[in-house]
Structure 1
Amino acid sequence: MRRMDGCLKPVRGRSLPLDVEPQWACEELLAAAIKKQKAFNQDFEDGAHVLLYPDARVITNIPGTDTPFTVQMYKEAIGKPYQRITLYICTLEAVENSCYTGTTSSSDEDSVVVAKLPSGDSLADTVVWDFPNEQSTPRMDNSLPGPLRHPQPASDRDGAPTPFQEEVQSAPGQNTFYSNYTNVYAPIIIDSQSEPEEETEQTAEESTEYLTAPDVVAELSAKIKNTSCSRFNINRSNVWDGAIRGFKRASFDPSHQMQVKFTDDEGQTEDGVDTGGPKREFLTLLMECLRMRRIFDGPQDRKFLTFDNAAAKDDEYFHAGRMIATSIVHGGPGPRFLSETLYQHLTGMKNTNIEAIIEDITDDTMRASLLEISSAATLEELHASIHRNSSLLQTAGCLQYPDGVDGKNAIIKDFMQWYIIYRNHFAIQRFKDGLEALDVIHALEQHASVFRAFMCSSVVELTSATLEEVFEVQHNSEKGSSRRHEETSVLGFWRDYLLEKEEKRTGLLLSDILMFSTGLNTLPPSGIQPRPQLVFHRTSRFPIGRTCSNTIEIPMSSTYEQFESNMDFGIQNSPGFGLY
């Protein structure tokens, strides 16, 4: 936690898993947590720290008892497995100078944050966080226990508070802030080696099952500086050329706003407030360009990184990762083409059932060798096949002669891991280095399941119902008027038009309609801001898309056939149509 505006608040992106022993007391647990934070966070400052419960009470006893704290006793008290226990650490100075008092708030509307210091009070007396107006509250008085009133030497003081968090499920009656507070920050997982049978391999994302991608991206985007911008000059016929120049430019900073100019727009600009329409279109086109780059290999919907010497010299792997990170945080789409195997490796996911298949290998010789091994029906055929392909298997480090035919599956699995992951270690590491921009890689690691649909190919496609919900209808006439009647009729045309495009799946697609209106061909991790608007236009036969304001103006046609024809013509003849 960190003291901000007089109150303790969690520090995002610093959570770490921690292996513990059940018999550890709070002093041993605190020492281990500080040691790990120092090992993984270079900016972790020295200082006297304390261990806190999620309601900010300093840990000494098990809540509601006089029993000294141990990991085992606390686990039994809260009824959670070790993998679901998380706690906070904070500097002693921040606790002493925070807005907490030793008394309970007398009003639910009171903005004072109240926390109990260790005194044997029951858990029912704990007051949850409540910052309705971000107001500060009275400083902590001198009721702190003696050890807490006397800071340690300067070498152990002034440390930056860091999260050593406890996951708390939001129960009925808890306020929204507290729910978000306990969800947005991924927990440090306490894993006991002495009880491996209890809910093994649970990840931090289990504590954030109700957290959405827009929630996480909103936190990441707080780093963006509106006072500075990075400029891009893009030609739609060669998006990569302008993009790589912009990302390599010395003045480029992922935390700066992006200003995009399409040089093939002949100087035309859209009306209204610029909320990033050209930027969203550029990022959409850029993600499609990345799919076709030499650094990626495999099927179109499950690409993996492959080493290319020229790309390595140009540091293209790093730039690709930074492009994806920038797109996600700046309101653009994710790549949506990474293979599940690569994504699992990037995010550290374990024990998943998704494996690469032989058909993902694009090298004809390697694919034929693996198919030969996989088709062996007897042990003799398997050994003969392994012998014929021994050089290839030895290169991959998986040459072995199993005792049974089923052993071929392990050989194939090991080879696929080598082919997709191990042989491309350099490429993957530089790609991850690029994803560190704006802390995106940490968000992916902590919320892997939340971002999977935006990073990997998703079976979930845009539907007419989704677009109906995305676009907010803006009527320009009074209720009951003849104009309102006309608008209502055209609104029916619009909804039928979306249904037609969803069912036909040929020609104009729903993604084309979204792209025409917002510069995005799919819903991005950040959500679309501002919310897209549907406006009725009476002076044009064709639709008008204003991507800066996320608005589509549809024509007032008298028949559905005329409406469909005019919509198709207008969208298909818009700048950039067919380039994504």
Structure 2
Amino acid sequence: MSFSLQINVGLMTIKKGGLKPYRGKTIFLTTDPDATATSLLNQAVKKMKDFNKDLKDGPFLLLYPDGTEVITVPGTQRPFTLEAYKAEVGKPYQRITVFICLKSDFEDVGENSDLSDSDPEIVIKRPSEFDLADTLPWELQHESSPLQKAAEYEKGAGDLVLANEVQQVLKAESEESLHNLILQNSTIFQTAGCLRNVKPCEKQAFVEEYLRWYILERNQSVIQRFKDGLESLNFLSALQQHSSVLAPLLCFSAKALTASELESMFRPDLSPAGSNKRHKEVLTLGFWADYLLDCEEKATAVCLEDLMMFATGLTAVPPAGMTPPPCIQFLSDSPFPVANTCANTLKLPICDSYSIFKANMDFGIQNAPGFGCS
């Protein structure tokens, strides 16, 4: 049985050689789950023209967030319906965004345009390589050890940050310069127990011996205390047997925040469907999505890390996730954002336009005297 629902509709235009969302032009559209690509396009164009009198005449195309034309459900040969698309992407209807675009703009850009940053989508990343700490109490199979990384560094393939004395030894081109470097740093090499005459062909083994002391042996007491703590409840044994499974939870991997990641992380706390408050909140969520993209593209006064710090007190997502889950609430009594970092709650101001929302978000975050206080 058909029923009314709301989705987001945006406008794409040519910017910097590719199709990009037009900031502040995202509106909500009331439609039904049986809507086809053609009917949805007609409804979207009409609604966009009602709210934007300067919109150029068509013809228009209906596009997915990645800039491809809406014809079939992605990954299938089934003709597009809103209900089928919703089931495929796994989003609630109010978080679905489609775009309209002038057919002439779409044809000018062509199929090979880079539209990777067009609109935030939930991206499920596969577990890949993790930056495992070199002082872990086990040796992973098929992983380079700290000593192997030193060898890679000499070839220019590694990114291990070595002590200055080690870098100089690896770069020594003659036997005389190698001996001089070892003498200059004789105190630290003697402490490591590896001070001796070294030939150029032996400098790799010399560096490996020094690194073994620098990374492992000098930290042996600390590592042992760490292992003793992990031994509680037999966790150390489980860690050694299933290291690859537990590594993502225990090892920090520095990676840049993305607009898509933050949008999917913060879940909105919406008023009941059909209420006047819900209408304003859905419009604000469109502004929020645009603001995240502007932060990612450095088109705002703050960056994604600043926004994350304001809302949660953290600049990166912990390996074990966040508890409680971050959420978005809405303000009707303040023009500026407010946050509760203990509850991971970000309260967004309800504004009439994206330009006002963006300016108020920038001002509130930049002038917050503490966590989330604006």
2:162 maps to a residue whose letter is D
Structure-to-structure mapping, 1:7-406, within 5 angstroms: 340-343=133-136, 346-349=137-140, 352-353=143-144, 354=146, 355=149, 359-361=161-163, 367-368=164-165, 370-379=166-175, 381-382=177-178, 386=182, 392-399=188-195, 405-406=200-201
Could you say if the C-alpha distance between residues 526 and 539 of structure 1 is closer, same or farther in structure 2, counting changes exceeding 3 Å?
same
Pairing 1:538–2:329 present: no
Cα displacement (A) at 1:512? 3.7
Q: Which of residues 258, 261, 281 is equivalent to 1:463?
A: 258
State the distance in 1 between where 2:141 and 2:254 align: 22
CA contact (8 A) 1:476 1:536 kept: no
2:262 maps to a residue whose letter is L
Could you say if the C-alpha distance between residues 509 and 445 of structure 1 is closer, same or farther in structure 2, counting changes exceeding 3 Å?
farther
Could you say if the C-alpha distance between residues 554 and 389 of structure 1 is closer, same or farther in structure 2, counting changes exceeding 3 Å?
closer
CA contact (8 A) 1:451 1:525 kept: no
State the distance in 1 between where 2:286 and 2:270 align: 13
TM-score (norm 1): 0.34
CA contact (8 A) 2:313 2:371 kept: no
RMSD: 3.9
**Secondary structure, in 3 states, of the residue corresponding to 2:218?**
helix
CA contact (8 A) 2:339 2:371 kept: no
User: Tell me, which stretches of 5 or more residues in structure 1 are unaligned?
Assistant: 1-210, 213-335, 362-366
State the distance in 1 between where 2:285 and 2:196 align: 66
CA contact (8 A) 2:328 2:348 kept: yes
State the distance in 2 between where 1:391 and 1:519 align: 42
Q: Which of residues 562, 567, 575 is equivalent to 2:356?
A: 562
Residues 104-161 of structure 1: CA deviation (Å, up to 9, x unaligned): xxxxxxxxxxxxxxxxxxxxxxxxxxxxxxxxxxxxxxxxxxxxxxxxxxxxxxxxxx
Q: Which of residues 303, 307, 318 is equivalent to 1:524?
A: 318
Cα displacement (A) at 1:410? 1.7
State the distance in 2 between where 1:396 and 1:477 align: 67
Which segment is superposed worse, 487-496 or 468-477?
A: 468-477
CA contact (8 A) 1:538 1:555 kept: yes
Q: Which of residues 291, 294, 306 is equivalent to 1:500?
A: 294
State the distance in 1 between where 2:276 and 2:185 align: 78
State the distance in 2 between where 1:501 and 1:457 align: 24
State the distance in 2 between where 1:540 and 1:395 align: 61
Cα displacement (A) at 1:463? 1.1
**Secondary structure, in 3 states, of the residue corresponding to 2:319?**
coil
Cα displacement (A) at 1:495? 0.5
**Secondary structure, in 3 states, of the residue corresponding to 1:553?**
strand
State the distance in 2 between where 1:487 and 1:515 align: 23
Structure-to-structure mapping, 1:409-558, within 5 angstroms: 409-436=204-231, 441-442=236-237, 444-452=239-247, 455-456=250-251, 458-479=253-274, 483-504=277-298, 508-558=302-352
State the distance in 2 between where 1:525 and 1:371 align: 32
**Secondary structure, in 3 states, of the residue corresponding to 2:240?**
helix
Could you say if the C-alpha distance between residues 497 and 406 of structure 1 is closer, same or farther in structure 2, counting changes exceeding 3 Å?
farther
CA contact (8 A) 2:252 2:318 kept: no
State the distance in 2 between where 1:526 and 1:513 align: 20
Cα displacement (A) at 1:373? 2.6
State the distance in 2 between where 1:359 and 1:386 align: 19
How many equivalent residue pairs? 235
CA contact (8 A) 1:571 1:577 kept: no
State the distance in 2 between where 1:387 and 1:543 align: 59
| Match in the other structure for 2:42 | none
State the distance in 2 between where 1:422 and 1:512 align: 39
Cα displacement (A) at 1:551? 2.8
Cα displacement (A) at 1:465? 0.4
1:423 maps to a residue whose letter is R
Cα displacement (A) at 1:387? 6.4
Residues 382-441 of structure 1: CA deviation (Å, up to 9, x unaligned): 4565567666544423345566x3421121122122112212222332343345567665
State the distance in 2 between where 1:439 and 1:556 align: 51
CA contact (8 A) 2:252 2:319 kept: no
Could you say if the C-alpha distance between residues 497 and 506 of structure 1 is closer, same or farther in structure 2, counting changes exceeding 3 Å?
closer
**Secondary structure, in 3 states, of the residue corresponding to 2:297?**
helix
CA contact (8 A) 1:376 1:382 kept: yes
State the distance in 1 between where 2:173 and 2:243 align: 39
User: Tell me, which stretches of 5 or more residues in structure 2 are unaligned?
Assistant: 1-125, 154-159
1:396 maps to a residue whose letter is A
Could you say if the C-alpha distance between residues 382 and 543 of structure 1 is closer, same or farther in structure 2, counting changes exceeding 3 Å?
closer
Could you say if the C-alpha distance between residues 500 and 435 of structure 1 is closer, same or farther in structure 2, counting changes exceeding 3 Å?
farther
State the distance in 1 between where 2:300 and 2:228 align: 40
State the distance in 2 between where 1:439 and 1:568 align: 49
2:290 maps to a residue whose letter is D
Could you say if the C-alpha distance between residues 456 and 407 of structure 1 is closer, same or farther in structure 2, counting changes exceeding 3 Å?
farther
State the distance in 2 between where 1:546 and 1:391 align: 51
Could you say if the C-alpha distance between residues 406 and 521 of structure 1 is closer, same or farther in structure 2, counting changes exceeding 3 Å?
same
Residues 23-53 of structure 1: CA deviation (Å, up to 9, x unaligned): xxxxxxxxxxxxxxxxxxxxxxxxxxxxxxx
Could you say if the C-alpha distance between residues 493 and 445 of structure 1 is closer, same or farther in structure 2, counting changes exceeding 3 Å?
same
State the distance in 2 between where 1:350 and 1:533 align: 39
**Secondary structure, in 3 states, of the residue corresponding to 1:525?**
coil
**Secondary structure, in 3 states, of the residue corresponding to 1:458?**
coil
Cα displacement (A) at 1:351? 5.8
Residues 177-231 of structure 1: CA deviation (Å, up to 9, x unaligned): xxxxxxxxxxxxxxxxxxxxxxxxxxxxxxxxxx99xxxxxxxxxxxxxxxxxxx
